[in-house]
Structure 1
Amino acid sequence: MFHVKLPGHDAIARQADEHLVTHRVKLPRKVVERPIRQVVKRLAMALFVLAATAFIVWVDRDGYNDNAGDGVDFLDSLYYATVTLSTTGYGDITPVSDAARLTNIFVITPLRVLFLIILVGTTLEVLTERTREEWRLNRWRAALRDHTVVVGFGTKGRSAVQTVCATGLKKEQVVVVDPSAKAVDAATAEGYAGVIGDATRSDVLMRAEVHKARQIIIATQRDDTAVLVTLTARQLNRQAKIVAAVREEENAPLLKQSGADAVITSASAAGRLLGLSVLSPSAGMVMEDLIQQGSGLDIVERPVVKAEVGKGVRETDDLVVSVVRGHRVLGYDDPAIGKLQLTDRLITIVRVTPGTRVTPHSRPLPQD
């Protein structure tokens, strides 16, 4: 069983989703009132229309005839308004004067229509909402491509998606997959699309449009789950860049054999950062600053520009720490680098100042 959701949703549809947790998609929308408040408001509106109609009839009571032979008092006016608005129409009280008949045509009939709309408004709203949601879902699927799929929205997944979004990725280009409904609710609340389900199943990943994704981040809680997700994702998308996190370092080679382009050992990485901070708190702070995108020092990858071709690493304006040449990552002091080539990519450290944003493949850019 799985459930596809996109950020935000109508409260009525939300209530239905609690019982039907399959094949549903939610797209961003404003938070609306609770269902109880909506019902109370519609009930109040219906009572107001009823009271207004009764008052109009009572004011023009001389233009109505009661078959019982008595005059039309306020109770008769309320009775007439009730049977008229509900389209029951017993016919025991009828308008006889021209003024009363004109009032029925131009005032009471529109009020009757309004009354019926209020009564069936909830049903109409649900039907309209489903149609609108289906249209938005189809439009979303048609437009979604080259996006980022994040499997697991725990601490690692949330931090990963915040980092890539800090480099310029739009939230509309992120789809979160998690078996926990609460985790996906948290993701949709932050503006990301979400799929509730087991990411080891290909049909769940297909609903996240993983076959059209540019990059896939796997941040599951279990290493064996990460391996299965990687295998499934790589089978569905041969070109996507897959980055996975594992707890145990001994499982990293298995992730790479399964198709991951890069594997991060979360426990070891945290331990090394702790050890570095013990040896040098300042160095630990610098490393933390480097991996936290969007402020202070950022480490980014960018292409070599034409003006840098033929120059040495130290002759560039940026602080280069590595050069990516083909499938090799060369340190800045590696003699094999020689002169920079147009096909090289540079891993540099830049300072991010307020009013700039840094993309992972470019120099810092001014904010729009």
Structure 2
Amino acid sequence: MPDVSSDLPAGSIRGWISLPENIRSPWWELGRRLLLALAILAGTVLLVFLDRHGYRDANDPTGDVGFIDSIYYTTVTLSTTGYGDIAPVTPQARMINAFVITPARIAFLVLLIGTTLEVLASQGREMFRVARWRKHMGQHVVVVGYGTKGRSAIETLVSNGQNREAIVVVDPSPIAMQEAHADGLAVVTGDATRREVLRRAGVAEASQVIITTDRDDSNVLATLTVRQLNPDAYIVAAVREHENAPLMKQSGANAVITSSDAVGRLLGLSSMSPMLGLVMEDLLTTGDGLEVAERDLLVTEVGRQPQSLPDQVIAVVRDEKVYRYFDPVVTQLARGDRLIVVRPARELPWAPRPGTHGEALASDD
């Protein structure tokens, strides 16, 4: 993905909110209708000029109508001005005016008036949609950068039950905006290191922010700005180089993913053990094979050992700390624990296993 500060030309709009839309742009419609209006005008001028002998010009001593007169007559006729200085005099010219030029006049006016109303209605509709979006936006997810990492993060969120309407993408690239719109996502176009751009994305009300640009310095600055705007947001940030991870955490990120280390480790595992590499890739792939998921502890599971549960428990979350399943601290599961498990991808990752739906959770009163 390009640098977040380099894709917008000088003077371009920053922080512009655009929602996914299925209809064509009003400016495309404007151009199309103007071309149709010009086609009607040109066709009518040609028709009048070819039948010019059926018209009389009261201001010309000879009464002849030339090409310029045909243009003049057509424009004042189609615009319903009708000065009357040029008029059809033969039956043929009058019939053409009645059955050809009059319908052309109506179509011409409908195109012009309809275009104006369409542009105003489209702008008003877009303003209403943005206002309604802002009103209902809260506790949403902001994803900075719609490159490969950002797109994969959103796919994972959506596959685990996150509503697409509650995800906002921040990216300066017009191409990224088109791709995000095609995926049904709202986009704020602009540089995510700028406070105003993040404000427009509703960062102050967001529950989570994912920062995935391809430049560590931009990620750090974006993280600092997000943390200033929203001290309570859960921030997940990606860094390319491992040495930048501590700086990212100092900037306010709750979780930092080192992309180069993760890819390098996966490559190394695949080299040493191709089958292990396939399993690790399976765990990281959404919607197929195995999934790593987090779920609540059931009432019936309180007091049991993690190894005795139907799910393959690999870790236990207790008091906001993560313990491995074999840690003596979590030998017996307690109310309020959450489980990190490996399970089939076809099961809903954030719900209890099939067959246990409807059972009371240990976190319930």
Q: TM-score, normalised to structure 2's length?
A: 0.77
2:329 paired residue among 326, 329, 336: 336
Q: Which amino acid aligns with 2:150?
A: G
Deviations 1:24-77 (A, max 9, x none): 32221125389678645654467559979x99xxxxxx9x99969999x9x999
In structure 2, C-alpha distance between the alignment counterparts of 1:169 and 1:295, rounded to whole Å = 18
Moved more, 77-86 or 183-192: 77-86
Q: Which amino acid aligns with 2:192?
A: A
SS in 2 for 1:221: coil
Go from structure 1 to structure 2 and tell me whether the alpha carbon gap of 1:36 and 1:251 turns closer, same or farther (over 3 Å shift): closer
Report the alpha carbon displacement of residue 314 of structure 1 after superposing the two structures with TM.
2.1
Report the alpha carbon displacement of residue 352 of structure 1 after superposing the two structures with TM.
2.0
In structure 2, C-alpha distance between the alignment counterparts of 1:79 and 1:365, rounded to whole Å = 78
Alignment of 1:237-248 (within 5 A): 237-248=230-241
In structure 1, C-alpha distance between the alignment counterparts of 2:102 and 2:184, rounded to whole Å = 45
SS in 1 for 2:291: strand
The reply to whether residue 198 of structure 1 matches residue 191 of structure 2 is: yes
In structure 2, C-alpha distance between the alignment counterparts of 1:282 and 1:144, rounded to whole Å = 44
In structure 1, C-alpha distance between the alignment counterparts of 2:241 and 2:225, rounded to whole Å = 21
Moved more, 140-149 or 28-37: 28-37
1:29 paired residue among 21, 26, 40: 21
Asked if structure 2 preserves the Cα contact closer than 8 Å seen for 1:227 and 1:258, the reply is yes
SS in 1 for 2:199: helix
Deviations 1:92-113 (A, max 9, x none): 46799xxxx9xx9999888645
Asked if structure 1 preserves the Cα contact closer than 8 Å seen for 2:169 and 2:186, the reply is yes
By relative contact order (CA 8 Å, sep 6+), the higher-ranking structure is 2
Go from structure 1 to structure 2 and tell me whether the alpha carbon gap of 1:298 and 1:124 turns closer, same or farther (over 3 Å shift): same
Partner of 2:351: 362
The reply to whether residue 347 of structure 1 matches residue 358 of structure 2 is: no
SS in 1 for 2:330: coil
Go from structure 1 to structure 2 and tell me whether the alpha carbon gap of 1:77 and 1:223 turns closer, same or farther (over 3 Å shift): closer
Asked if structure 2 preserves the Cα contact closer than 8 Å seen for 1:51 and 1:78, the reply is no
SS in 1 for 2:329: coil
1:168 paired residue among 161, 182, 185: 161
RMSD: 4.0
Report the alpha carbon displacement of residue 350 of structure 1 after superposing the two structures with TM.
0.8
Deviations 1:119-171 (A, max 9, x none): 35444433322211111111111111121111122222222222222212222
Asked if structure 2 preserves the Cα contact closer than 8 Å seen for 1:201 and 1:232, the reply is yes
Partner of 1:224: 217
In structure 2, C-alpha distance between the alignment counterparts of 1:115 and 1:19, rounded to whole Å = 37
Asked if structure 1 preserves the Cα contact closer than 8 Å seen for 2:171 and 2:191, the reply is yes
Report the alpha carbon displacement of residue 299 of structure 1 after superposing the two structures with TM.
0.5
Q: Which amino acid aligns with 1:324?
A: V
Identity %: 49
In structure 1, C-alpha distance between the alignment counterparts of 2:70 and 2:293, rounded to whole Å = 77
Asked if structure 1 preserves the Cα contact closer than 8 Å seen for 2:18 and 2:188, the reply is no
Structure 1 segments unaligned to the other structure (5+ residues): 1-16, 56-61
Asked if structure 2 preserves the Cα contact closer than 8 Å seen for 1:50 and 1:85, the reply is no
The reply to whether residue 156 of structure 1 matches residue 149 of structure 2 is: yes
Deviations 1:7-28 (A, max 9, x none): xxxxxxxxxx998524532221
Asked if structure 2 preserves the Cα contact closer than 8 Å seen for 1:172 and 1:193, the reply is yes
Partner of 2:287: 294
In structure 2, C-alpha distance between the alignment counterparts of 1:33 and 1:133, rounded to whole Å = 11
Alignment of 1:124-163 (within 5 A): 124-163=117-156
Report the alpha carbon displacement of residue 185 of structure 1 after superposing the two structures with TM.
3.1
The reply to whether residue 210 of structure 1 matches residue 203 of structure 2 is: yes
Partner of 2:80: 87
Go from structure 1 to structure 2 and tell me whether the alpha carbon gap of 1:212 and 1:34 turns closer, same or farther (over 3 Å shift): closer
Go from structure 1 to structure 2 and tell me whether the alpha carbon gap of 1:322 and 1:142 turns closer, same or farther (over 3 Å shift): same
Go from structure 1 to structure 2 and tell me whether the alpha carbon gap of 1:130 and 1:34 turns closer, same or farther (over 3 Å shift): closer
In structure 1, C-alpha distance between the alignment counterparts of 2:10 and 2:250, rounded to whole Å = 39
In structure 1, C-alpha distance between the alignment counterparts of 2:242 and 2:325, rounded to whole Å = 27
In structure 1, C-alpha distance between the alignment counterparts of 2:295 and 2:169, rounded to whole Å = 27
Go from structure 1 to structure 2 and tell me whether the alpha carbon gap of 1:70 and 1:364 turns closer, same or farther (over 3 Å shift): farther
Report the alpha carbon displacement of residue 80 of structure 1 after superposing the two structures with TM.
6.3
Asked if structure 2 preserves the Cα contact closer than 8 Å seen for 1:46 and 1:119, the reply is no
Partner of 1:310: 303
Q: Which amino acid aligns with 1:274?
A: L
Go from structure 1 to structure 2 and tell me whether the alpha carbon gap of 1:332 and 1:303 turns closer, same or farther (over 3 Å shift): same
Q: Which amino acid aligns with 1:277?
A: S
Moved more, 158-167 or 119-128: 119-128
Asked if structure 2 preserves the Cα contact closer than 8 Å seen for 1:167 and 1:294, the reply is no
Q: Which amino acid aligns with 1:218?
A: I
Partner of 1:283: 276
